[in-house]
Amino acid sequence: MAAVELEGVVKTFGAVRALDGVDLTVEAGEVHGFLGPNGAGKSTAIRVLLGLLKADSGRATLLGGDPWGEAAELHRRIAYVPGDVALWPGLTGGEVIDVLARLRGGLDERRRAETIERFEFDPTKKCRTYSKGNRQKVALIAALASRAELYLLDEPTSGLDPLMEKEFQQAVLELKDEGATVLLSSHILAEAEALSDRISIIRAGQVVQSGSLAELRHLTRTTVIAETARSAAHLAEVDGVHHPRFVGARITFDVDSVHLDAAVQALAPLGVRSLSVHPPTLEELFLRQYGEEATA
């Protein structure tokens, strides 16, 4: 049974159509990446799933139940981390972790202690003194410290430093090993790629792509920009290289991640003067996939 199902869900705020017929399925036990640029409707979709917002039309199912009608019962089985965490300025981080976990229906003392240690978190400070990253840690620790069947994580790493992000990824993989389901929203492709079994891409309130990483392999190409002493024309023939463009001594091309090694081998003998390699941003992806339509 699917843990999460949205079918043709529409949600409008006045003139803004935040969700425009969203279809989304998250199978039980998978880590599902929910990708989309800012303003695409990720948070709105998650809030509909939480029964905080009422969909105008369409059907939403959460763990087999109706998120609007049975919100409180369902919430005992899930954990949620919002994108921008606001806390009570007068309570300490430790107090908030306890409160949220207890209100959810239970606190696993061992997990609480472990996660606090893992995220190097000081629970004795008042929340008003925490940075965005630390506020996010509070919500993350509270979510991880109570066992849930489903974790709804809305851009949970946007305030974390790289070291903590690594810990976060490790924690998500452990949840998956325990058999939990994770819906992880992000606007960074690489993050979703590192953790997800399957990915759905949302854009302007509609899910435009959905599938396993292998199926979406074309989305995970790397962009390479190189300046070489000798002509790099023959790179166009290397397996996995797409859209080569030449401007003077500079070549720009996209390459499937599995063929990155071959492409770099081919570049090396040409006398590389400068080299930059980056994964495509979502915006670039959309430009590539949908051309002008995406920017409109």
Ligand X SMILES: Nc1ncnc2c1ncn2[C@@H]1O[C@H](COP(=O)(O)OP(=O)(O)O)[C@@H](O)[C@H]1O
Q: Which residues bind Mg ion (CB under 5 A)?
A: 43, 83
Cβ 2 to other proteins, closest distance in Å? 20
Buried b (16+ CB within 10 A) or exposed e, 103-130: ebeebeeebbeebbebbebebeeebeeb
Ramachandran region of residue 261, left (φ > 0), alpha (ψ -120 to 50) or beta? alpha
- Using CB under 8 A as the binding rule, whether residue 87 contacts other proteins is answered as yes
Give 168-176 contacts, CB < 8 A, sequence gap 24+: 168/140, 169/194, 169/195, 171/115, 171/118, 171/140, 171/144, 172/31, 175/144, 175/151, 176/29, 176/30, 176/31
The least CB distance from residue 290 to ligand X, in Å, is: 17
Closer residue to ligand X, CB minimum distance, 38 or 170: 38
Instruction: Answer yes or no whether residue 275 interacts with ligand X by CB under 6 A.
Output: no
57 belongs to the binding site for other proteins (CB under 8 A): no
Give yes or no for residue 89 binding other proteins (CB under 8 A). yes
Residue 47 touches other proteins, criterion: CB under 8 A: yes
Asked if 71 is part of the footprint of other proteins (rule: CB under 8 A), the reply reads: yes
42 contributes a contact to ligand X by CB under 6 A: yes
The type of residue at 214 is: A
Distance CA 159, CA 165 (A): 9
Residue 288, interface with other proteins (CB under 8 A)? Answer: no
Pick what 60 binds: ligand X, Mg ion, other proteins, none; C-beta below 5 to 8 Å, kind-dependent: none
Does 43 help bind ligand X (rule: CB under 6 A)? Answer: yes
Taking CB under 6 A as the rule, does residue 33 contact ligand X? no
Contact (Cβ atoms closer than 8 angstroms) between residue 71 and residue 50: yes
| Min separation Cβ 292 and other proteins, Å | 33
Backbone φ and ψ for 79, nearest 5 degrees, come out as -135, 140
Is the Cβ of residue 43 or residue 115 nearer to ligand X in the bound state? Answer: 43
Pick from 21, 29, 39, 279: which binds ligand X (CB under 6 A)? 39
If contact means CB under 5 to 8 A according to the sort of partner, which of other proteins, ligand X, Mg ion, none does residue 135 touch?
none
Determine, following the binding rule CB under 6 A, whether residue 103 of this chain makes contact with ligand X: no
Nearer to other proteins, 8 or 94 (CB): 94
Structure tokens at 66: 């109706």
Using CA of residue 245, residue 248, residue 251, residue 252, what is the dihedral sign? negative
Burial class of residue 232, CB neighbours in 10 A (0-12, 13-18, 19+)? buried
- Minimum distance from residue 57 beta carbon to other proteins (Å): 15
> By the 8 A CB rule, do 24 and 2 touch?
no
Report in angstroms how near the CB of residue 220 gets to other proteins at its nearest. Answer: 32
Position 222: which residue type?
T
DSSP secondary structure code for residue 63 in this structure: T
Q: Does 43 bind other proteins (CB under 8 A)?
A: yes
Region of 32-40, 130-138, 189-197, 237-245 interacting with ligand X (CB under 6 A): 32-40
Are 184 and 33 a contacting pair, CB within 8 Å?
Answer: yes
Q: Which of residues 122-181 bind other proteins (CB under 8 A)?
A: 123-126, 128-129, 139, 152
